[in-house]
């Protein structure tokens, strides 16, 4: 049941690899926003015993499972190379992901909800967000932060960046940009100012009815 705000302000957040989405989301959560992560929702939908997992097993067969546990790396590999399998999985998961996100929004009691979704800009399913927030960092910083965090090679990061939307295209879709090109205090200041603004918008909308 929502009490503090009848209609929360829904902020869609995205950005390239290593841009700082997780860090920004954590800062918003510390200030009192609810964070919904579409990746987590998607992962939970394929947890052991779930109806969607049964369908995945029927479609792909047992080789995708080790002792009944889904081999997610293998699944990723298949859908990366097989368009038909990818389309099938998307039609299975996307409506369920959207429904679960809507359910979590409906039961939240926060004035501000942050929806973190990797395909926020590519998918048509997120038209209910009020504002699109892009976390942006210079590509050299994206690379160095990801290499340090994940202990991977520059080549691995370059491949992922090449498969993602180009930075300029992403920035063109932004309503708001967080510039994560300095230290964490600089990031924190931007988040705090935005959180205050989002709460005000939610409050004003409530007052307007
Ligand atoms: P991914 O797309 O891979 O999930 P992400 O966009 O969620 O990445 P984060 O994990 O938040 O990015 O940040 C990448 C790394 O950079 C993390 O180790 C984080 O602690 C670090 N980092 C983020 N912002 C800053 C900053 N302003 N100063 C120093 N380190 C930072």
Q: Which two tokens stand for residue 166?
A: 């180009």
Q: How many A from CA of 6 to the centre of ligand 1?
A: 33
Cα 115 from Cα 13, distance rounded (Å): 6
**Ligand 1 atom with least separation from CA of 181:** 27
Reference 180, options 131, 140, 122, 130; nearest CA is: 140
Task: Give the percent of the chain with pLDDT over 70.
Answer: 98
Q: Return the residue whose CA atom lies nearest to atom 21 of ligand 1.
A: 145
Please provide the size of the chain in residues: 209
pLDDT at residue 181, rounded to an integer: 98
3-34 confidence digits (pLDDT tens)? 454 789 999 999 999 999 999 999 999 999 99
Residues with CB under 6 A from ligand 1: 15, 17-23, 145-146, 149, 180, 183-184, 187
**Ligand 1 atom with least separation from CA of 148:** 18
Contact between 36 and 110 (Cβ < 8 Å): no
Q: DSSP H helical segments within the chain, as ranges?
A: 21-31, 38-45, 51-60, 72-81, 83-107, 139-150, 154-163, 167-172, 184-208
DSSP state of 63: G
Mean pLDDT, rounded, for 122-129: 89
Reference 118, options 103, 149, 139, 97; nearest CA is: 97
Q: How many A from CA of 1 to the centre of ligand 1?
A: 33
User: Which residues, 6 or more positions from 101, have their beta carbon under 8 angstroms from its beta carbon?
Assistant: 36, 38, 41, 115
Q: How many A from CA of 19 to the centre of ligand 1?
A: 6
Neighbours of 60 (CB within 10 A): 19
Q: How many A from CA of 145 to the centre of ligand 1?
A: 6
62-121 confidence digits (pLDDT tens)? 889 988 889 998 998 898 889 999 999 999 999 999 999 999 999 999 999 999 998 899
Cα 17 from Cα 150, distance rounded (Å): 11
Q: How many A from CA of 200 to the centre of ligand 1?
A: 28
Please report which confidence band the pLDDT of residue 1 belongs to, taking 50, 70 and 90 as the band edges.
very low
| pTM reported for the whole predicted model | 0.89
User: Which residues, 6 or more positions from 19, have their beta carbon under 8 angstroms from its beta carbon?
Assistant: 135, 136, 137, 142, 180
Contact between 149 and 142 (Cβ < 8 Å): no
């Amino acid at each position: 049941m929502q009490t503090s705000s009848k209609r929360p302000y829904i902020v869609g957040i995205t950005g390239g690899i290593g841009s700082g989405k997780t860090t920004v989301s954590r800062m918003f959560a510390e200030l009192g926003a609810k964070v919904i992560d579409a990746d987590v929702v998607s992962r939970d939908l394929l947890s052991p015993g779930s109806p969607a997992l049964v369908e995945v097993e029927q479609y792909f067969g047992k080789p995708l499972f080790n002792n009944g546990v889904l081999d997610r790396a293998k699944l990723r590999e298949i859908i990366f190379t097989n368009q038909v399998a990818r389309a099938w999985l998307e039609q299975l998961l996307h409506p369920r992901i959207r429904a679960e996100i809507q359910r979590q929004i409906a039961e939240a009691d926060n004035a501000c909800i942050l929806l973190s979704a990797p395909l926020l800009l590519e998918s048509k399913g997120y038209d209910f967000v009020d504002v699109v927030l892009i976390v942006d960092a210079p590509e050299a910083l994206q690379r160095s932060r990801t290499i340090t965090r994940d202990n991977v090679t520059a080549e691995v990061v370059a491949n992922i960046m090449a498969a993602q939307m180009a930075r300029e295209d992403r920035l063109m879709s932004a309503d708001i940009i967080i510039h994560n090109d300095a230290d964490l205090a600089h990031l924190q200041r931007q988040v705090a100012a935005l959180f205050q603004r989002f709460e005000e918008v939610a409050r004003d909308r409530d007052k307007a009815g």
